[in-house]
Structure 1
Amino acid sequence: MDKARYLVEAHLEEGRSVSELSAMHGVHRSWIYKLLARYRAGGEEALAARSRRPRSCPHKASKEIEQVVVELRHELSRNGHDAGAHTIAYHLAKRFDHVPSVATIWRILKRNGLVEAQPQKRPKSSLIRFCAELPNQMWQADFTHWRLADGSEVEILNFEDDHSRLFLASDVYLTVTAQDVVSTFQKACDYHGYPASLLTDNGAVFTGHYRGGKVLLESELERLGVVFKNSRPYHPQTCGKVERLHQTLKKYLAKQRPAKTLDELQHQLDTFRDYYNNIRPHRALDGCTPLQAFEARVKAKPSKPIENPHFRVRKDKVDKTGRVTLRHDSRLHHIALGRAHKGRRVTILVADLDIRVVDEEGEVIRQLTLDPSRNYQPLGST
C-alpha cells in the first residue's frame, strides 16, 4: 500500500483528522485534501502517482531541428568526420538563427539511439592538458602506417602546431626517410613560418642520438636555431596531439574509397587537411577552427634569425680515396669523408658554405663549413 492510499483510508475508514495525519507523517494538509478530492472523483486508480512532466515546453527543439540533427549525425559519420554534439551545433548555426544547446543536441541523439555509453573512458577531471602559449611555439611530428587498395603498406608523415592544432603538413611516402622528413618540414615552414621548437618521438628518421650520431633533421634544426625535443621512450602520450590527429585522419580515410596510388591517397590527405583546418570546429579550441586559432595570436619564432642561403642538393658516390667533389664559384673542391665510406652513395646538401654529407639512411657522415680558398677539405676541418 502506498502512502497516498494509506492517508485516504486513514481519514475515511478510521476517521482521523487531516491535521493529525499531516503532523504525524510530515506532509502538508493541502496535499491530503487533493488526495481526497481525487479519490472521490476517480476511486483508487486516481491515487496513482502522476507525471510531473509539463503539458507543453515552449523552448523545446522543433521536429525540423531534431530531424536535421539526426541527418547531420549520419552525414558526418558517413564521411568519416567528427559527429559529436559540438560539431553538429556548429553546422546547425549555418542553417538556423536559433540553435539548441549542445546538451539538447546530445539528448536528441540519445533519444534516437545514436549515443553509445563508453564507461571505459577516463573522466576529464583526471586529464592534465599541456598546450603551447603561442602558434609556432612548438610543432609536433610523427608518421603512421596505412594501406593502399592492393594491400601494400605506405607511411604518412604529419606535422601539427601544438597551440592551434593547425594541420601543417601531411605527405605520403612508401617509406619515410630522413630526407623526406626535412622536405616536408621545409614545405610546412614555407607556408606557416619556422617554429621555435619541434617535438618528435625517437624514430630513426628523427634522431640519431641513441646511435651516437646525428640525422639530417637534427642538423637542419640546429642550423635554423629550432629547439629539438624528443619524447620519453615508450611514452606516446608526450606527442599526444599528433597521435590523436593520426586517429582522426584514419577515421576519415576508412570511410573513403581505398586509394590505388600514392597520388590518390595524397589527394585524400589534402582534402581532409583543408576540412580539418578551415571547416571542422575543434572542441579543444572552444569551437574555433585550427586556422582561426593559428591566425588569432602573434607567432613564436626560432631563437636566431633565419637566413635564406642558396640551397643545392647533389647526389654522389664516395671515390676509392674516401672523397666526394663539389663545385663552388666555378671551383672544384674535394671533401674528405674517410676510406671507410668508399663506394657509398651519398647526398650532399649545400646551403651556401654550410655543407652536409648524408648517407642513404639519413645519417650525417660529415658536416663542415666550406673553405673556398682550399681545394681540399681535410677531415680535420670544420
Structure 2
Amino acid sequence: MSKNRVIVEAVLAGRSHAAVAEQYGISKVWVGKLMARWRTGGLEAVDKRSTRPKSNPNAIDANMTAVIIALRHELANNGHDAGARSLWDYLTLQGHTPPSITTIWRILTREGLITPEPRKRPRRTYLRFEADLPNECWQSDFTHHKLATGRDIEIITWLDDHSRFALHISAHPRITGATVLHTFTTTITTHSMPASTLTDNGLVFTTRHRGGANAFERELTILGIEQKNGRPNHPQTQGKVERFQQTLRKWLTQQPRAQTLEILQHQLNEFAQYYNHERPHRSLSGATPHQKYTARAKAQPQNNNDGHWRIRTDKVDIAGHVTLRHASQLHHIGIGLEHAGTRIRMLINDLHILIINIETGEILRDFQLDPTRKHQPRGIKPGPKKGTPRQGGMPKGYKFKK
C-alpha cells in the first residue's frame, strides 16, 4: 500500500487533517488534495502520478527518428561505420538538421540498435599525434583477405598521417620487400615524396635489426626521406593505418566475395573512392580525407642525407671471399686466397667499402660496391703476378738436347 493511501485511510478513520499532517510530516494542504482525489476517483486516484509532461516542444520529430533508423540500417548493410557520430555527419551532408550526437545514440539504444561492447581503455589516456602537413608522414601496413576460392591475399596500404587520405591500396599474392618498394615508388609518382614514413618492424619494411638495409630503406636514404618504425608489439604507434584496415575489412565483409585478384582490386578501388571522397571522417570533424589532403601545401623531404654507415667484423672464407648484404641482395667480395681465415673489419658508407686486416691494420680492399653484380672481383687478372718465379716445369730459355 502506498503512503498516499495510508494518509487517506487515516482521515477516513476519523482523524483530523491537522493530526494526520503532523503524524506523517506533510502539509494540511497536501492532505486536502489527496482527499479531493479520493472523492472523485477512489483510492486508485490517490496513487503517485507520473511527472512526465503532457507535451515536449523539444521532442524529436517522428520523421527524423525514422530517417535516423533507416540511415543506420543502410550504412550497416553496406559495411560502413554507422555510429551516432557517423550518422550525424551523414545527416548534415544530406541537408538535414540532425539532433545532437547524444540524442541520436539514445534513439539507437531505444530501438535496440546498439551492440554492447567490452569496456575499453579511456581515450584520454592515449597520446595522440598527427602530422601538421600533408605528406609529412606516410603510414603503411598490410592485412590479409581470402578470396572465394579460399586463397589468401595480402593487401598493402599507404596512408597519409595528416589527412588519413588513402594514397595507395593494392592486393598481392604475397607482400615482399620488392612489393613494398614498388608500391612506394608508384605512390610517390602520383602524390610526390613524403618527408618521412612510419611502419612496423616487419622485414619487408626494415632489416636494420639484422645489421643491414633492405631495398626500401636504401631508396629512402637515397631520396633523403626519414624512416620511422614503431616499437615492437605496439601497433598503436601505427594506429591510423591499423584503424583504416579495420574499416576496410568491415566493408569487404559486406561485399560479394571476390573470385580473382583482379576483382578484389576493383573492389579496393571502389572503396578508396568512397573512403577518400564521400565518407565523412570522424577525426577530421566530418570532412573527407581528400578535402583535408588538398587543403594545405604538402611537406617535402628535408634531404638531410648523411648516408648509411655501419661497421662489420667478419672472417675471410677458404675461397678468399667475404659476404655483404646490400638492398636485400647478398654480394660476394673477393679478398684473395692468401688471406683465407683472416679476421677483417669492413667500414661501410653506402656503396664505399674499406676492408682492413684486424691484426695488422693492412688495407686489403678499398672500392665502390657494384649493386648490379653478385660477385665483386678484385680486378686482378688470373694467374701469378708478373715477375713471379714459375712453379715447376723447365726454366725459361731451356733448350732440349738433341
Question: TM tier, shorter chain?
Answer: 0.7 to 0.9
Cα distance, 1:16 vs structure 2: 4.6
Cα distance, 1:339 vs structure 2: 6.1
TM-score, normalised on structure 2?
Answer: 0.71
Output the amino acid matched with 1:8: V
Structure 1 residues 97 and 203: alpha-carbon distance in aligned structure 2, compared to 1, 3 A threshold: closer
Output the amino acid matched with 2:144: H
Equivalent in the alignment of 2:248: 249
C-alpha separation between the residues in 2 aligned to 1:18 and 1:79? 69
2:270 is aligned with 1:271: yes
Output the amino acid matched with 2:272: R
Structure 1 residues 338 and 105: alpha-carbon distance in aligned structure 2, compared to 1, 3 A threshold: same
Output the amino acid matched with 1:203: G
Are the counterparts in 2 of residues 167 and 273 from structure 1 also a CA contact under 8 Å?
A: yes
Are the counterparts in 1 of residues 280 and 288 from structure 2 also a CA contact under 8 Å?
A: yes
Equivalent in the alignment of 1:3: 3
Are the counterparts in 2 of residues 8 and 36 from structure 1 also a CA contact under 8 Å?
A: yes
Cα distance, 1:120 vs structure 2: 3.2
Structure 1 residues 61 and 208: alpha-carbon distance in aligned structure 2, compared to 1, 3 A threshold: same
C-alpha distance after superposition, 1:257-309 (max 9, x if no partner):
11111111111111111111111112222222222222333432211299xxx
C-alpha separation between the residues in 2 aligned to 1:24 and 1:186? 85
Cα distance, 1:161 vs structure 2: 1.7
2:234 is aligned with 1:235: yes
Structure 1 residues 138 and 2: alpha-carbon distance in aligned structure 2, compared to 1, 3 A threshold: same
Gap runs ≥5 in structure 1: 307-321, 323-335, 341-353, 357-366, 371-375
Equivalent in the alignment of 1:359: none
Q: State the identity %.
A: 46
Equivalent in the alignment of 1:59: 58
Question: Map of 1:39-118 to 2, 5 A cutoff?
Answer: 39-118=38-117
Are the counterparts in 1 of residues 132 and 162 from structure 2 also a CA contact under 8 Å?
A: yes
2:130 is aligned with 1:131: yes
Are the counterparts in 1 of residues 72 and 87 from structure 2 also a CA contact under 8 Å?
A: yes
Equivalent in the alignment of 1:296: 295
Output the amino acid matched with 2:103: T
C-alpha distance after superposition, 1:126-159 (max 9, x if no partner):
4332322332222211111111111111110011
Count the aligned residue pairs.
Answer: 323
Structure 1 residues 33 and 136: alpha-carbon distance in aligned structure 2, compared to 1, 3 A threshold: farther
Structure 1 residues 11 and 263: alpha-carbon distance in aligned structure 2, compared to 1, 3 A threshold: same
Cα distance, 1:197 vs structure 2: 1.4
C-alpha separation between the residues in 1 aligned to 2:208 and 2:351? 20
Output the amino acid matched with 1:128: L
C-alpha distance after superposition, 1:288-338 (max 9, x if no partner):
2222222333432211299xxxxxxxxxxxxxxx9xxxxxxxxxxxxx953
Output the amino acid matched with 1:274: Q
Question: Map of 1:181-330 to 2, 5 A cutoff?
Answer: 181-304=180-303
Cα distance, 1:205 vs structure 2: 0.8
Structure 1 residues 151 and 32: alpha-carbon distance in aligned structure 2, compared to 1, 3 A threshold: same
Q: Which has the larger radius of gyration?
A: 2
C-alpha separation between the residues in 1 aligned to 2:104 and 2:240? 27
C-alpha separation between the residues in 2 aligned to 1:204 and 1:28? 81
Cα distance, 1:12 vs structure 2: 4.7
Are the counterparts in 2 of residues 134 and 163 from structure 1 also a CA contact under 8 Å?
A: yes
C-alpha separation between the residues in 2 aligned to 1:23 and 1:185? 85
C-alpha separation between the residues in 2 aligned to 1:51 and 1:95? 38
Are the counterparts in 2 of residues 338 and 379 from structure 1 also a CA contact under 8 Å?
A: no
Output the amino acid matched with 1:338: H
Structure 1 residues 227 and 11: alpha-carbon distance in aligned structure 2, compared to 1, 3 A threshold: farther
Equivalent in the alignment of 2:177: 178
Cα distance, 1:196 vs structure 2: 1.7
Are the counterparts in 2 of residues 337 and 379 from structure 1 also a CA contact under 8 Å?
A: no
C-alpha separation between the residues in 1 aligned to 2:96 and 2:42? 50
Structure 1 residues 255 and 60: alpha-carbon distance in aligned structure 2, compared to 1, 3 A threshold: same
C-alpha separation between the residues in 1 aligned to 2:261 and 2:175? 13
C-alpha separation between the residues in 2 aligned to 1:30 and 1:133? 68
CA RMSD of aligned residues (A): 3.2
Output the amino acid matched with 2:38: Y
Equivalent in the alignment of 1:164: 163
C-alpha separation between the residues in 2 aligned to 1:247 and 1:38? 61
C-alpha distance after superposition, 1:48-83 (max 9, x if no partner):
222222222233333322222222111111111111
Equivalent in the alignment of 2:400: none
Gap runs ≥5 in structure 2: 306-320, 322-329, 335-349, 353-366, 380-402
Which deviates the most, 209-218 or 105-114? 105-114
C-alpha distance after superposition, 1:82-120 (max 9, x if no partner):
111222222223444432222222222222221122243
